[in-house]
Amino acid sequence: MLLPPDFSLILASKSPRRSYLLEQAGIPFTIRTAEVDEIYPPETPVLDVAPYLAKLKAGAAAHLLETDREVLLTADSVVILDEEIFGKPTNRDHALEIIRRLSGQRHTVVTGCCLKSRSTEEVFSSTAYVYMNSITPREAEAYVDRYRPYDKAGAYAIQEWIGLAKIRRIEGTYPTIMGLPVDLVYERLVALANPSLS
Q: Is 22's pLDDT higher than 70? A: yes
Summarize the confidence of residues 129-143 as an average pLDDT.
98
Residue 196 has what pLDDT? 67
Q: What is the pLDDT of residues 90-108, one digit of tens each?
A: 999 999 999 999 999 999 9
Give mean pLDDT, residues 10-33: 95
Strands (E), 6-120: 8-11, 30-31, 70-81, 84-86, 106-116
Does residue 68 carry a catalytic annotation?
no
Q: What is the mean pLDDT of residues 71-89?
A: 96
Domains of the chain as residue ranges with CATH = 8-197 (3.90.950.10)
In one-letter notation, the amino acid at residue 90 is T
Q: Is the pLDDT of residue 187 over 90?
A: yes
How much is the pTM? Answer: 0.93
Per-residue pLDDT averaged across 23-42, rounded? 94
pLDDT of 3 above 80: no
Q: What is the mean pLDDT of the chain?
A: 94
* DSSP-assigned states of every residue in 45-71: -HHHHHHHHHHHHHHHHGGG--STTEE
Helix axes 137-147, 92-102, angle to 10 degrees: 130
The residue annotated as part of the active site, out of 6, 37, 48, 76, is 76
Map residue 186 onto helix, strand or coil: helix
Chain mean position to CA 29 = 17
Angstrom distance (rounded) from CA 137 to CA 160: 17
